[in-house]
Amino acid sequence: MLTAVAFIFVLGVLIFIHELGHFLMAKKVGIRVDKFSLGFPPNILSKKVGETTYCLGLIPLGGYVKMAGENPDEELTGDEGEFMSKTVRQRAAVVIAGPFMNYVLAVFLLIVLFFFRGHPVSDPDRVLVGTVTEEGPAEAAGLLADDRIIAVDGEAVNDMETLREFISIKVSEPIMLTWVHESDTITREIVTEPTEVMQMDGSTDTVGIIGFYEKNWIADRYDMLSAVKQGFTTTHFWVYETGKVVVSLVTGKFSMKMIGGPVFIAKASGEAARKGIYYLFSLMALLSINLAVLNVLPIPILDGGHLVFLAFEKIKGSPLSIKTRAIAQQVGLLLLLLVIVMVTYNDILRLF
The residue annotated as part of the active site, out of 19, 70, 82, 271, is 19
Percent above pLDDT 70 for the chain: 94
Q: Are residues 300 and 318 in the same domain?
A: yes
Residues of the chain with pLDDT under 70: 72-76, 78, 198-203, 218, 347, 350-352
CA 158 to chain centre: 33
- Burial annotation 145-169 (CB, 10 A radius, 16+ → b, else e): eebbbbbbeeeebeebeebbebbbe
Asked, for residue 19, whether it belongs to a domain, the answer is yes
Range of the domain at 155: 123-215
Q: Are residues 102 and 171 in the same domain?
A: no
Between CA 114 and CA 43 the distance in angstroms is: 38
Domain boundary, last residue among 191, 215, 239: 215
Q: Are residues 135 and 49 in the same domain?
A: no
Q: What is the mean pLDDT of the chain?
A: 87
Taking the CA of residue 182 as centre, how many other CA atoms within 13 Å lie in the half-sphere pointing to its CB? 0
Q: Are residues 111 and 12 in the same domain?
A: yes
pLDDT score at 272: 83
pLDDT one-digit tens code per residue, 126-174: 899 988 888 899 999 999 988 999 999 999 998 888 999 999 999 999 9
Strands 204-209 and 52-67: unpaired
Asked, for residue 295, whether it belongs to a domain, the answer is yes
Asked, for residue 194, whether it belongs to a domain, the answer is yes
Q: Are residues 177 and 127 in the same domain?
A: yes
CATH number of the domain where residue 147 is located: 2.30.42.10
Between CA 158 and CA 206 the distance in angstroms is: 24
Q: Are residues 110 and 133 in the same domain?
A: no
- Among candidates 320, 303, 304, which has minimal Cα distance to 312? 320
pTM over 0.85: no
Q: Are residues 64 and 129 in the same domain?
A: no
The angle at the Cα of 279, spanning 276 to 285, to the nearest 5 degrees, equals: 140
Q: Are residues 53 and 22 in the same domain?
A: yes
The angle at the Cα of 34, spanning 30 to 38, to the nearest 5 degrees, equals: 110
Total domains present in the chain: 2
Asked, for residue 152, whether it belongs to a domain, the answer is yes
Which residues contact residue 81 at a Cβ distance below 8 angstroms, ignoring those fewer than 6 apart? 30, 31, 32, 68, 69
Q: Are residues 35 and 92 in the same domain?
A: yes
Can you spell out the DSSP letters for 204-268? EEEEEE--EEE--EEPPPPPHHHHHHHHHHHHHHHHHHHHHHHHHHHHTSS-GGG---HHHHHHH
Q: Are residues 59 and 144 in the same domain?
A: no
Asked, for residue 33, whether it belongs to a domain, the answer is yes
Asked, for residue 127, whether it belongs to a domain, the answer is yes
Domain boundary, last residue among 215, 230, 254: 215
Q: Are residues 131 and 173 in the same domain?
A: yes
214 noted as active-site residue? no
Asked, for residue 228, whether it belongs to a domain, the answer is no
Asked, for residue 311, whether it belongs to a domain, the answer is yes
